[in-house]
Chains A and B, each alone.
Chain A
Amino acid sequence: MHNRALPYLLILPSLFLAAVVIFWPVYDLVQISTHDVSRFGQLRDFIGLANFAALADDPDFMAALWRTGLWTLSVVAGALVLSIPVAMILNSDFYGRSVARVIILLPWAVSLTMTAVVWRWALNGESGMLNSALMGLGLIDQNIQWLASAGTAFPMQVLIGILVTVPFTVTIFLGGLSSIPDDLYEAAALEGASAWQQFRTITLPLLKPFINIAIVLNMIYVFNSFPIIWVMTQGGPANSTDILVTYLYKLAFRVGKLGEASAVSLVMFAILLIFTMIYVRLAMREREA
């Protein structure tokens, strides 16, 4: 009966497209990472896990790995802490709320590349507008070379990362907050519960599934985030702001160490897969609930 084949035929093109851009590259990366490979991508002898072993001995890789953890955790945690109160304010009824929503969600529509280019300029040591604004406010008395050393560049990148992560996080929380019925708060207020008690015993528990999903999704996005660091410092000076994605890009397209680059890719792929499994389980549990 042709009707039985129909759904498969309808799905096939999507499946095919999504599979080609995922499975073929993964297969290729496995091939390259386990072979001796020339600078131009010719595969030679099978060398097993030697490329992975080389990574473990590479101090730059280990530093980038560690920094990726720091980057991901600080951006995700920062965005979370900032987004809960912001979402609660945006969920309450006040004049100009729709304007406030548009402004706060706006960075979402702007490409990370443009945001990073603008900040690179704003943080410019001699002519940057951040220095002139801070001087004008009397907060600093001489120019700070923000991007010249990792000590100031990386924290700025984390702050910008937080800023661009807030809109998406707020959006998820707004969805969660709108599902909490007002009666709960009214009843709690009648019982004499303070605002803080209401937050702890009503808002936070009911928001928890949304917080979980926001954490996992943000971990995935931030872990993969390339443009902010690439555009502002290209991982420099001297690899001191590299995270895995920028280090991977340098290995592959600057240095031409294809074997090690694909090993980094696969390590990242494995980490991502773990995050994704967690997300799938959370999302599926959410559906059943």
Chain B
Amino acid sequence: MRKSKLVRSVIAWLLLSPLVVVTLFPFAVMFLTAVKPRPEVLSPTWWPSEFRWSNFVEMWVVTGFGRALLNSLYVSVLATVGAIIVAIPAAYAMSRFRFAGYGAMRQFLLISQMISSIVLVLGLFRLIAAWGLIESTTAVGVVYMAFNVAFNVWMLQSYFDTIPRDLEEAAWMEGAGRWLTLRKVFLPLCLPAIAVTAIFTFINAWNEFIIALTILRSQENYTLPIQVFALVAGRYTIEWHHVMAAALLATLPVAVLFAWLQRYLVRGLALGAVK
């Protein structure tokens, strides 16, 4: 006997409910603390007596949120755009040309995706210091770019390989050159994959912690994760309602982006990670 869909749905939600509660718990904590009036923050009640929306405005001014937001946008956009521009030609070459060293390049890409920045952080710090670029958000953006290139090439190649060559060959028959074909036929077809890859890189860069923590030392250069961390670390009194408001504002854009595009992101990643 097949149980009705309604019964199955109730069972499914019941089974998932502990995980759902634990997953949503931090969001609830963030939100409820962020809107509490200051005197109530330290009293361990869940519900605020009133929703103090002005906390967000106050936090924005007091913590210098706007500047950190701009810094985060700058490094993330630099990393995303840079990585895509560098990765598209490489992925195209790997998908459409036969050449010696192809296998070695693929292995190198796979391995370099696994090497995390934390293991190399001391070496990277010295590299950046040798160039006199400590405190440079541009340097941080470029490092993010470099660390995401391998992933970008890998993802894009997986997708490029699924696009039939006939289309390009048809365009060549019509007398279009390689470059024109690339621009007018091939790349427009790849736009969804490029977008998915770019969004992944953006989220990675937006959330990165250790490189930013190491390279960006003064507050005017902080990105959002470092800014929020600085509100907590080594302080005698922590203004938790400001911290939570900042964390919420920093998290919301990527969370919404992710929820909206989740299906495509997940399919794209499965293609890239497992294939």
* Interface residues in chain A, defined as those with a beta carbon under 8 Å from any beta carbon in chain B: 4, 6-8, 10-11, 13-15, 17-18, 20-22, 24-29, 32, 41, 82, 85-86, 89-90, 92-98, 100-115, 117-122, 126-129, 131-133, 136, 163, 166, 171-172, 174-176, 210, 213, 217, 220, 224, 226-227, 230-231, 234, 245, 248-249, 252-253, 258, 261-262, 265, 268-269, 272-273, 275-276, 279-280, 283, 286-287
Contact = CB atoms under 8 A, between A and B. Distances in A.
B176 interface: no
Contacts of B15: 85, 89
B146 A95 contact: no
Contact of B251 (A27, A110, A252, A286): A110
Contact of A283 (B110, B112, B228, B240): B110
B110 A280 contact: yes
A101 B259 CA distance: 9
Interface string B149-168: 11001000000000000000
Contacts of B60: none
B29 A121 contact: yes
A53 B269 CA distance: 42
Contacts of B150: 14, 18
Interface in B120-167: 120-127, 129, 143, 145-147, 149-150, 153
B115 A279 contact: no
B26 A6 contact: no
Nearest to A28: B123
A113 B114 contact: no
Contacts of A95: 5-6, 9
A136 B45 CA distance: 10
Given A100-B12, A253-B214, 6 more contacts: A7-B99, A14-B90, A111-B254, A210-B274, A226-B209, A265-B121
Interface in B1-41: 5-6, 8-9, 12-13, 15-16, 19-20, 22-26, 28-30, 32-33, 41
A143 to B, nearest CB: 8
A155 to B, nearest CB: 15
B107 interface: yes
B235 interface: no
A17 B86 contact: yes
A280 B24 CA distance: 35
A25 B124 contact: yes
A100 B114 contact: no
Contacts of A166: 19
Contacts of A248: 118-119, 121-122
B92 interface: yes
Contact of B94 (A11, A17, A128): A11
Contacts of B240: 121, 127
6 contacts: A14-B87, A32-B122, A90-B16, A101-B262, A109-B258, A129-B33
Given A21-B146, A280-B111, A163 B46 contact: no
B120 A227 contact: no
Contacts of B44: 126-129, 131-132
Given A26-B120, A114-B225, A118-B247, A100 B93 contact: no
Contacts of A273: 111
A261 B20 contact: no
B185 interface: no
A20 to B, nearest CB: 6
Nearest to A173: B270
Nearest to A132: B44
A94 B9 contact: yes
B146 A231 contact: no
